[in-house]
Amino acid sequence: MSTYVTTSTSSQTPIGPVSESKIFYIGELNRAIQNNELCLHYQPRYNTSGKMVSLEALVRWQHPQHGLLYPDRFIPLAVEVGLIHHLGLWVFEQCCNDLFSLRSQLQENIKITINVHVSQLEDLQFAQKILDICLKYYLSLESFEFEVNACSAMQERTRVLEFCNILISHGAEFSLEDFGTALTPLEYLCLLPINLIKLESDFINRIGFCTRSETLLRKLIETAHEMNLTIVAEGIEHAYQRDLLVKMNCDQLQGSLFHQPVALEKLNMDSTLMPA
């Protein structure tokens, strides 16, 4: 997952002392946002018939000295110093802009999935800014799914729920990423209006090697369906993993077996791509 952004608001936690190296990178990241050094890569998600149903937006930083940087190199810093909202709004607006190109080449109802940090969910001003951007592009939030990391610590639960309900009332959907990594996701399932859960990739990696993992995975899929939730397996690298997941009635599949995250212009627009 993995896109975020915003200017600081009164609801954010005050920033403590920052080292000189961090101050340097804060300036670098600010410049990157202003100078269009950020870019998005997209990774498709498919149903078990091979139809593309969603594209996950993943932010990258094309640094002039260090080359292409992945989110783990700059998202934690953006969160720590209060740039996550600014970054997140950049991501969302870029997705809105890209959606017009995508829909001219894909089916009309293709969705874009955007990762959101829990601190963004706790800021109702951030929700309003998302709505303002949609209005600017004449788009409905029915085109978007917002993905919440299951391991994120949530401080303002009432505010998070209000945030979700505001966007849901305008057509958005919410999903829970990395499900199965801790007990917290079970609590989030009861608290948040989630439509979809994504299984943590470690579950997928153990398929074919650990009978207990397969049993647990099968039960998680059954439980999700009993709760009227769509379940997604990500991180699929091998055909035998795909085949087992299809037999277990997993709803959607994502991973390098099907398509790597790539820039928009390199995206394979075959909406039924699914290797035999």
pLDDT of residue 32 exceeding 80, the answer is yes
Per-residue pLDDT, 230: 96
Residue 8 lies in a domain: no
Amino acid at 240: Y
Q: Which residue has the higher pLDDT, 147 or 100?
A: 147
Count of the separate structural domains present in the chain: 1
Task: Note whether residue 135 is domain-resident.
Answer: yes
Q: What is the pLDDT of residue 22?
A: 64
Average model confidence (pLDDT) across the chain: 83
| 79 within a domain of the structure (yes/no) | yes
Contacts by 27-30, CB closer than 8 A, 24 or more apart:
28/63, 29/61, 29/74, 29/77, 29/78, 29/83, 29/87, 30/83
CATH of the domain at 158: 3.20.20.450
Domain coverage including residue 154: 20-266
Is the model more confident about 67 or about 255?
A: 255
| pLDDT on residue 129 | 97
**Strands in 12-65 per DSSP E:** 38-47, 52-63
Residue 103's pLDDT is: 77
pLDDT at 208: 78
pLDDT of residue 39: 92
- Predicted local confidence at residue 152, as pLDDT: 67
- The answer to the question of residue 272 being in a domain is no
Cα distance between residue 64 and residue 101, in whole Å = 27
In this predicted structure, the answer to whether residue 275 has a pLDDT above a threshold of 80 is: no
For the cut 50, the answer to whether the pLDDT of residue 102 exceeds it is: yes
Residue with tokens 């091998």: 238
Task: State the pLDDT at residue 162.
Answer: 94
Question: Who's near 220: CB < 8 A, 6+ residues apart?
Answer: 179, 180, 199, 203, 231
CB 120 within 8 A of CB 84: yes
In a domain, 258, yes or no: yes
Helices H / strands E in the chain, number of each: 10, 10
pLDDT at position 183 is 47
In a domain? residue 7: no
Q: Is 273 inside a domain boundary?
A: no
Task: Reply yes or no on whether the pLDDT at 107 is more than 70.
Answer: no
pLDDT of residue 18: 46
Residue 188 has a pLDDT of 78
Structural domain includes residue 9: no
Distances in Å between the Cα of 83 and the Cα atoms of 47, 79, 99, 265 are: 35, 6, 24, 28
Report the C-alpha gap between 245 and 249 in whole angstroms.
Answer: 6
